[in-house]
Structure 1
Amino acid sequence: MFYCTLTCIISLILVVFQASSLQEDYYRRHYIGSIPEDAIIGGKNAEGSDVYIGQVYDRNVGLIAVQINPGVKEVIIPIFDKIRKASKHISILCGSQDDFYWLRANASDLHLTLLEKHAVNGGHIDNYGEISIGRISQEGETKIGIVVSYNVGNAYFIYNNDGVEKRVPSYEILVYGYHIDRC
């Protein structure tokens, strides 16, 4: 009896330890207009201010990665050839900036590019699948958006371009990891 109990306790400790070692050290905080100190910077806007990586829940679409502009409580969701706006159910990506990097990628071979890498989950589109977080630089500013990573061979980057949904095949995707070979 004692041996069985001891074995169960040791097994439970090992499972908890293993699960905790796999946990990422990033998280999301509720966003209501102010930027937390540990928010992950996604790039710069045209004025040179930092832009951030957010996520918003839209009951008609899913959980979608979005760009957060400091001081602006509303985010824009470019999805299904439409632009949607949201001011509720928004979170902002937080953690240690040093644990993230942007990896060049393209729509046709994204899945090969990501082998043995951890793309940061950007949410999901209901009835389609998981999405990742991407960015491009356009006319001197960063545009944060979604990568339709569920679509093998056609994993396009979708973003808001002044109120119009745009899709491009070449972009950078957000990747997480402590020991990253950046070469």
Structure 2
Amino acid sequence: MALKTALLIVLGFAAVACGSPKKYTHYYWRDYTGEVPCDAVVGGHDELNRTTYIGQGVALNNDYYSLSPLTIVEGEKVQRAPLWGYGMEVVQTRILCVTSPYPDKWIATNSKKLVADTVDEQLVLGGIEGSKHDNNVRYDLNIGRAKVGDKLITGKIITHDTYNSVLYVVDGWQAQEVQEFEVLVANN
């Protein structure tokens, strides 16, 4: 338990420190207690057409960790984030909120065009992912969403290089890789 607590603290500081040079101030993370606050950012909807929200939680799998964007359905006790092909249960879930009346801005893109489609935009940082033992394995994660069946699911975007970005979402207990998606950008 002490290891998980220490990792959560380190990941929390890393998430705050790894923002881009252009700062946006109207998005922030709040602890998720099971009730959705009135300023929560809508992420999509589930198969029952219930509104879902953008969450963030820590997932651990052997040497790998992820402070990852995820989908929150109000009232569900277990949240899962994609990590190495699985929907891993997360600890210490937070929910993305907004302090201003700016509407959310989603840009449609795909794995090959994300960087080009968002060159003049500021992507909202959703977390970080990496290896506890290899400092060279570390990714900033952006927030994306995609239609999977009859759900609009929120997940993490990993950008490997200019022409290789992937959205990972959790559907049930399986992580899925999505090539066509939308990315959340700051609407300043």
Question: Can you give the 5+ residue segments of structure 1 that lack an aligned partner in the other structure?
Answer: 1-20, 179-183
Question: Can you give the 5+ residue segments of structure 2 that lack an aligned partner in the other structure?
Answer: 1-21, 131-136
Equivalent position of 1:64 in the other structure: 68
Equivalent position of 1:175 in the other structure: 185
The structure where strand makes up a greater share of residues is 2
Aligned length: 157
For normalisation by structure 1, the TM-score amounts to 0.79
1:26 alignment partner AA: Y
- State the 4+ residue runs in structure 1 displaced beyond 3 angstroms: 96-99
Equivalent position of 2:30 in the other structure: 29
Equivalent position of 1:10 in the other structure: none
For normalisation by structure 2, the TM-score amounts to 0.77
Q: 1:78 to 1:22 in 2, by over 3 A?
A: closer
Checking the alignment, whether the CA contact within 8 Å between 2:59 and 2:83 is kept in structure 1 is: no
Equivalent position of 2:127 in the other structure: 123
Equivalent position of 1:12 in the other structure: none
Partner of residue 89 from structure 1, selected from 89, 92, 99: 92
Per-residue deviation, 1:83? 2.3
C-alpha distance in structure 2 between counterparts of 1:61 and 1:138, whole Å: 25
Checking the alignment, whether the CA contact within 8 Å between 2:87 and 2:172 is kept in structure 1 is: no
The structure where helix makes up a greater share of residues is 1
Per-residue deviation, 1:119? 0.8
- Say yes or no: does 1:158 pair with 2:162: no
Per-residue deviation, 1:139? 2.4
C-alpha distance in structure 2 between counterparts of 1:118 and 1:22, whole Å: 9
Checking the alignment, whether the CA contact within 8 Å between 1:68 and 1:75 is kept in structure 2 is: yes
Equivalent position of 1:16 in the other structure: none
Q: 1:23 to 1:119 in 2, by over 3 A?
A: closer
Other structure's SS at 2:102 match: helix
Checking the alignment, whether the CA contact within 8 Å between 2:66 and 2:83 is kept in structure 1 is: no
- Say yes or no: does 1:132 pair with 2:142: yes
1:61 alignment partner AA: Y
C-alpha distance in structure 2 between counterparts of 1:115 and 1:167, whole Å: 23
C-alpha distance in structure 2 between counterparts of 1:152 and 1:97, whole Å: 32
Larger radius of gyration: 1
Partner of residue 147 from structure 1, selected from 122, 140, 157: 157
Other structure's SS at 2:119 match: coil
C-alpha distance in structure 2 between counterparts of 1:99 and 1:152, whole Å: 28
